[in-house]
Amino acid sequence: SVRSAGARISSDLRMGTVKLVTVPILRSLEILAPADRTEYVLTGEPGGDRIRLRASREDEEVLHWYLDERYLGPSVPEHPMRLPLSPGEHTLTCMAGAGDIDSVRFSVVSPDAGVSFKAL
């Protein structure tokens, strides 16, 4: 059998048959939101101060999320994970079923913490 670009071709020369079987190719796992080294400012708005966690393979499989080495739970394509923000420096890790992982760091500050805006 031969593997190429998401398909596997298998043949049985004795029977004179060839069949094409689709094999999914998974993209590398990457956390898309929050972006690495992002700083969030708490607003105090009702229902606010939460972010939707996003990853490159969120539409393809169950992903498991960890905040500061504490398990948050799974996200599935139909139910994305939303994270309530709390002040501090944080490390967010996402793990796929096959053991692929990605991590980002982000910080959350209170509005009275003297936030500075830098020109890009």
The tens digit of pLDDT for each residue in 85-110 reads: 999 999 999 999 889 999 999 999 99
pLDDT of residue 7: 47
In a domain, 59, yes or no: yes
pLDDT of residue 20: 67
In a domain, 1, yes or no: no
Cα 61 from Cα 97, distance rounded (Å): 8
In a domain, 48, yes or no: yes
Number of domains in the chain: 1
* Domain with 67 in it: 31-109
In a domain, 41, yes or no: yes
* The pair of three-digit structure tokens given for residue 69, joined into one six-digit string: 């080495």
In a domain, 53, yes or no: yes
Cα 120 from Cα 99, distance rounded (Å): 36
In a domain, 55, yes or no: yes
CA distances from 56 to 16, 32, 63, 76, 81 (A): 41, 7, 10, 13, 14
pLDDT of residue 1: 35
In a domain, 24, yes or no: no
Cα 21 from Cα 79, distance rounded (Å): 30
Q: pTM for this one? A: 0.71
In a domain, 80, yes or no: yes
End-to-end Cα spacing for the chain: 52
- For the chain (120 residues), the mean pLDDT of every run of 10, in chain order, is 43 64 70 97 89 92 96 92 96 94 97 63
User: For the domain that residue 96 is a member of, what is the CATH number?
Assistant: 2.60.40.10
